[in-house]
Amino acid sequence: MQSFSDSILYSYAQIFFSNRRWFGAAVLAATFVTPQLGILALLGVIISNITATVLKFDTEKIRSGFYGFNGILFGAAAAFYFEITPFILLLVLIFIVITFFISAVLENYMAVAFNLPGLSLPFIIALYIFIIFLANYDFINPGYVTLSLVKTTSVLPFIVSEYLRALSLIIFQPDVISGLIIAGALLFFSRVLFLLSILAFALNLFFLNLILPDMPEAYLILFAFNSILTAFALGGSLIIPSGKSFVLVIIAVLMVVIMTGFFIKLFTGTNFPILVLPFNFIVLSTLYSLKFRKENTNLVLLYFKPGSPEENYYQHQRRKSRFEKFRFLFPELPFFGEWFIPQGFEGQHTHKDDWKYAWDFTVVDEKKSEHSGDGKELSDYYCYKLPVAAPLDGEVVKIVDGIPDNKIGDVYLEKNWGNTIILKHEYGLFSSLSHLLSGSFKVKEGEKINKGQIIAQCGSSGRSPVPHLHFQFQTTDKLGDKTFKFPFAHYIERSDDGFILRTFDYPVENTKVQNVEVHKQMKSAFNFRFGDRLKFNCKAGEKDFIEEWEVKVNMNNELYIESSRNATAGIYVTDKVLYFTNYQGKKDTALYHFSLISMSVPFSYHEKLQWSDVYSVDQFNLGVVRYFSELFLFYKSYISAEGKFIFSDSNNVEEITFCSTIEVRGSSLFSFYHRNYSGEVIIGSNGIIKKFNMKSGNKLLFSAIDAREEERSK
């Protein structure tokens, strides 16, 4: 029953690109300002969703309103254009089912063939078929359509009442009261959409007076609601809000005015209403044309499950900050233990021009000396003869061997690369490792190798005055080819006060680095796998409850955790780090708090290891401050949130504890806003998440303990 009521409310919400049940309820209420229209619209969504359910269509799509909103539009339009008699009612019910099938076919075809939404095209097609079919009868009377073409009496200024009527006629309501309900819901749901509705209406008036000054006033609303819907789609619902999407809205409204004028002339003398044809035409053609760009710049098509424009913006910015540097391959440093980088990108000695994206690696002691004793012998150098490993799975495509090591201080310029191995990886990426020890190769040309497999030993051959390893990525198997800038997936950098986890980054000169070594206890706790189940005894304020989690997989083969309290959190698990990607649900669950304080977690353990991550602003309850800041979102986001994490000392040597500090702060106009949160997660010796908590200042917001752990303690 809950799922069916959801499908109705979400269907109403989808008309305005919303994903909120309450917004759907507001639109539903707005349709009943004119009860007969409201009843037919409600019948439209009920019959559509029942048909989809009986025919076993995807339950999640039904619940989301995917199949229902075209039924709403058809039912409302039928009552709007025709007097509802028993005969017409029977036909309407039949055509609602037809609308559903057209919707199912067209939505699927548009998605598969063009990767585009069907929008309200199914409703338009079904209504045109309905109008043509009714031409067989001569006793059909018009409905409310005449009311929409005359100026209604209102205490509001003409421009305001016309704006509200434009909003209400999106759902075929010829009344400003419906417009007031929708405008209020828009403002509460999305400041971006509310501003876009006003902008589109104003631009529509300007362009209409500029290029079609003689257009009858009765058509103003037709131009207006097409402009508003187009602005919704291209300004923030199907394109990530930005300065460029704002400019795109201006251009799109001009195109809407032109296309609406075209359709008015085209349909003159016919019984076909224009409806939302201009909106569908402009939006679909614009979205499709944008897919052929070479670069997205900051005009980015929506590429994940939509929310409000603000949520889309925050989600995109967070993904960009967190995963923009992520690549399709996960290379590791080509050695074991901690090494030093005496020369990095654009180094002062040899890493210049086409060869600037390369690293030299060596080993140093605590005094940063590369050798013991006086360093006159090769064997004095700590890195000499140490094993060298493959950074990725691949194939050995070239080996250069037989070049002797140099005496300390000498170089061999004729074969300056020295003994070298070149490995071929996926996607056309190659890696080259040079100055290796002659005769130390553990593999042969043509041999398949695995990441981390020992392939040779470090030497001092070629242009190498002292033992070291030269490493570079490149795009061919040519010895000494130009370098290619490609990051290492995960590594640990030593800092003055501990260690720092780097993700898809480039090690810098004069730093000590090492690979992330998997810690059994950490991986056992955070390597969530399909089917895993967890259970926690929780406390939020004075409220105690039990919450259960289950790890599931969605249609895109992506892992997520589902809470027993109607919440989900997406997770992305690499071989070395866990990332929480998104959270959906109320902000009072254990899963919500855990996803915040464990936004990213390495499967490693180093005392005082630190790392950082960024958050979406919408993940926090910020109240009116966030709402006001979103009025400027097309220009800039004035609120940001960042988290810092560190493994801390624990009195219990068998437990691992990491702490998080989350800072939410405003800038410029909102620099007064600042809020801190802190969290702690404790991993038991048995590799389970033993307990976790979250605080705001000194106030405990939430705490949870593993149910099994609590039972054992009793």
Task: Please state, rounded to an integer, the average pLDDT across all residues of the chain.
Answer: 92
- Residue 529's pLDDT band, with cuts at 50, 70 and 90, is very high
Report the C-alpha gap between 162 and 184 in whole angstroms. Answer: 16
* Cβ neighbours of 149 (radius 10 Å): 13
463, containing H or E segment: none
Q: Tokens 């439209």 map to which residue?
A: 44
- Residue 693's pLDDT band, with cuts at 50, 70 and 90, is very high
Q: Which two tokens stand for residue 654?
A: 């068998």
DSSP class of 595: H
Please tell me whether residue 642 adopts helix, strand or coil conformation.
strand
Which of 540, 592, 544 lies closest to 566, judged by CA?
Answer: 592
- Residue 41 above 50 pLDDT? yes
pLDDT on residue 145: 59
Domain match, 281 and 314 both: yes
pLDDT on residue 115: 82
Domain match, 95 and 219 both: no
Domain end call among 324, 358, 382: 324
Bridge-based pairing of strands 512-515 and 488-495 is antiparallel
Domain match, 359 and 485 both: yes
By the 8 A CB rule, do 688 and 706 touch?
yes
Whether 456 is in a domain gets the answer: yes
Q: Which segments of 135-219 does DSSP mark as H helices, in order?
A: 145-148, 158-168, 176-189, 191-211
Q: Specify the amino acid at residue 422.
A: I
Domain containing 262 — which CATH number? 1.10.3430.10
The half-sphere exposure of 304 on its side-chain side, counting CA atoms within 13 A, is 18
- Residue 149 above 50 pLDDT? no
633, containing H or E segment: none
Domain match, 456 and 541 both: no
Whether 175 is in a domain gets the answer: no
pLDDT on residue 650: 67
pLDDT on residue 714: 52
Domain match, 706 and 563 both: yes
Whether 514 is in a domain gets the answer: no
Whether 511 is in a domain gets the answer: no
Please tell me whether residue 494 adopts helix, strand or coil conformation.
strand
Q: Could you report the per-residue pLDDT of 469-503, keeping only the tens digit for each?
A: 999 999 999 999 999 999 999 999 999 888 999 99
Q: Which two tokens stand for residue 56?
A: 């076993």
Q: Could you report the per-residue pLDDT of 243-258, keeping only the tens digit for each?
A: 999 999 999 999 999 9
- Residue 153 above 60 pLDDT? no
Whether 154 is in a domain gets the answer: no
Q: Could you report the per-residue pLDDT of 48-96, keeping only the tens digit for each?
A: 999 999 999 999 899 999 999 999 999 999 999 998 899 999 999 999 9
Domain match, 319 and 359 both: no
pLDDT on residue 154: 61
Domain match, 603 and 627 both: yes
By the 8 A CB rule, do 103 and 57 touch?
no
Q: Which two tokens stand for residue 107?
A: 């939505």
Whether 627 is in a domain gets the answer: yes
Domain containing 438 — which CATH number? 2.70.70.10
Q: What SS3 string covers 235-267?
A: HHHCECCCHHHHHHHHHHHHHHHHHHHHHHHHC
Domain end call among 124, 146, 168: 146
- Residue 108's pLDDT band, with cuts at 50, 70 and 90, is confident
Which of 545, 663, 548 lies closest to 613, judged by CA?
Answer: 663
Report the C-alpha gap between 429 and 431 in whole angstroms. Answer: 7
pLDDT on residue 151: 47
Q: What SS3 string covers 532-569?
A: CEEEEEEEECCEEEEEEEEEEECCCCCEEEEECCCEEE
Tally of domains in the chain? 4
By the 8 A CB rule, do 278 and 265 touch?
no
- Residue 3's pLDDT band, with cuts at 50, 70 and 90, is confident
Domain match, 207 and 308 both: yes
Domain match, 446 and 368 both: yes
- Residue 379 above 90 pLDDT? yes
Q: Could you report the per-residue pLDDT of 189-209, keeping only the tens digit for each?
A: 999 999 999 999 999 999 999
Q: Tokens 């989350």 map to which residue?
A: 662
Percent of the chain with pLDDT over 70: 97
- Residue 271 above 50 pLDDT? yes
Q: Which two tokens stand for residue 353?
A: 């021009």
- Residue 547 above 90 pLDDT? yes
pTM metric for this prediction: 0.85
Please tell me whether residue 196 adopts helix, strand or coil conformation.
helix
Q: What are phi and psi of 586, to 5 degrees?
A: -70, 160
Q: What are phi and psi of 320, to 5 degrees?
A: -65, -45
Q: Could you report the per-residue pLDDT of 326-337, keeping only the tens digit for each?
A: 888 999 999 999
Whether 90 is in a domain gets the answer: yes
Domain end call among 125, 146, 167: 146
Domain match, 199 and 133 both: no
Report the C-alpha gap between 561 and 568 in whole angstroms. Answer: 5
Domain that holds residue 282: 190-324
Q: Could you report the per-residue pLDDT of 307-324, keeping only the tens digit for each?
A: 899 999 999 998 888 888
What lies within 8 Å, CB to CB, of 5 at 6+ separation is: none
What lies within 8 Å, CB to CB, of 458 at 6+ separation is: 335, 383, 384, 385, 386, 387, 388, 435, 436, 437, 467, 468, 469
Whether 160 is in a domain gets the answer: no
Which region holds residue 602: left if phi is over 0, alpha if psi is between -120 and 50, else beta?
A: beta
Which of 452, 613, 590, 600 lies closest to 522, judged by CA?
Answer: 600
Domain match, 564 and 709 both: yes
pLDDT on residue 413: 85
Instruction: Sort 481 into a burial class: Cβ within 10 Å, 0-12 / 13-18 / 19+.
Output: middle
pLDDT on residue 399: 96
pLDDT on residue 489: 94
Domain match, 564 and 700 both: yes
